[in-house]
Amino acid sequence: MEIEGENIFLCDEFWCTKRAIIGEVISLWNVIMSVEKKASVENETARKVPKVKSVGAKPKKKVVKPENPLMINHQAWNRQAVMDILCARVSSSSLSLVKILADGHNGHSLPKVVAVMGWIGSDEALAKQYAIAKERQMDFMSEEIADIADNATNDYMESLGNDGQPNGYVLNGEHVQRSRLRIETRKWLMGKLRPKKYGDKVELAHTGDPEKPIEHRVSVDPAVAAAEYQRMIQGK
């Protein structure tokens, strides 16, 4: 009987422990389900509540780059259109091609000078168009020279004495030299780029017996020639 009583006691203790464990598992399960249900309700509520935009926030505007009318599909230059503009400006001003390209056209950029020179070198029609524009530019400069020479503005400056009072006028040498440089530069360009019209002409006249040919004799002193050669190679 004592043995049976001990077995009964052990069985009761086992089932009590088992029921306690099952009860704790059920309680923990209920807690987990309660938390998941609460999270589900909060997510559903968040989806239903409309988003309120901030009053001070401004929508970002997409910057649209203006289309350059001188380009084809934003990828390649319209060479003929560009050259038409360049040649029109070259033939009606004394500006260089570099300056014209840097200034742009109607707020739009123009290609680099290297690209334009490449077009001129590879396209005979564009090269001829540009050559004609440069000839016309030389004619423009020939007319401009007279205006530069006749413009006496700022040739003289008012001079002040030691007391700060006007003391007559003195020659503004810097302005005069600048005007002279502008004229000489234009004359040099005209003579080089359009020599037949603006280059220095040298006329040779021969008089004498037409039956006798002209003889040319050149006498060179070796010592003088050697000294001249040494002077040239030394850069003197």
Q: What is the pLDDT of residues 152-163, one digit of tens each?
A: 888 888 887 777
* pLDDT attached to residue 224: 72
Q: Is residue 166 within 8 Å of 158, Cβ to Cβ? A: yes
CA dist 77 and 213 (Å) reads 61
Q: State the residue for tokens 């003195």.
A: 170
> Which of 5-9, 17-21, 141-145, 169-173 has the highest mean predicted lDDT (pLDDT)?
141-145
Residue 65 has pLDDT above 80, yes or no: no
Helix spans in the chain (H): 2-48, 79-91, 97-103, 113-122, 124-150, 173-193, 195-198, 222-233
pLDDT band at 2 (very low <50, low <70, confident <90, very high): very low
* pLDDT attached to residue 158: 80
214 backbone dihedrals φ, ψ, rounded to 5°: -80, 130
Q: Mean of the pLDDT values across residues 55-69?
A: 68
Q: How do residues 159-207 score in pLDDT, each as one tens digit?
A: 877 777 777 788 888 888 999 999 999 999 999 999 999 988 766 666 6
* pLDDT attached to residue 208: 63
Rg of the chain over Cα atoms, rounded to whole angstroms, equals: 48
The listed CATH number (3.40.720.10, 1.10.10.60, 3.10.100.10, 3.40.640.10) that belongs to domain 71-198: 1.10.10.60
* pLDDT attached to residue 3: 45
Please, what sign has the CA dihedral across residues 73, 79, 85, 86?
Answer: positive
The residue type found at 73 is: N
Residue 236 has pLDDT above 70, yes or no: no
pLDDT band at 210 (very low <50, low <70, confident <90, very high): low
Listed by start position, the domains of the chain span 1-42, 71-198
* pLDDT attached to residue 202: 64
User: What's 157's DSSP letter?
Assistant: E
* pLDDT attached to residue 15: 63
Q: Considering the chain, what percentage of its residues have pLDDT values greater than 70?
A: 70
CA dist 126 and 137 (Å) reads 16
User: What's 108's DSSP letter?
Assistant: B
CA dist 117 and 79 (Å) reads 11
Q: How do residues 82-138 score in pLDDT, each as one tens digit?
A: 999 999 999 999 999 999 999 999 999 999 999 999 999 999 999 999 999 999 999
pTM: 0.56
Query: Where is pLDDT greater, at 44 or 166?
Result: 166
Name which of 134, 128, 125, 70 is nearest 96 in CA terms.
134
Q: Considering the chain, what percentage of its residues have pLDDT values greater than 90?
A: 38
Query: Where is pLDDT greater, at 61 or 109?
Result: 109
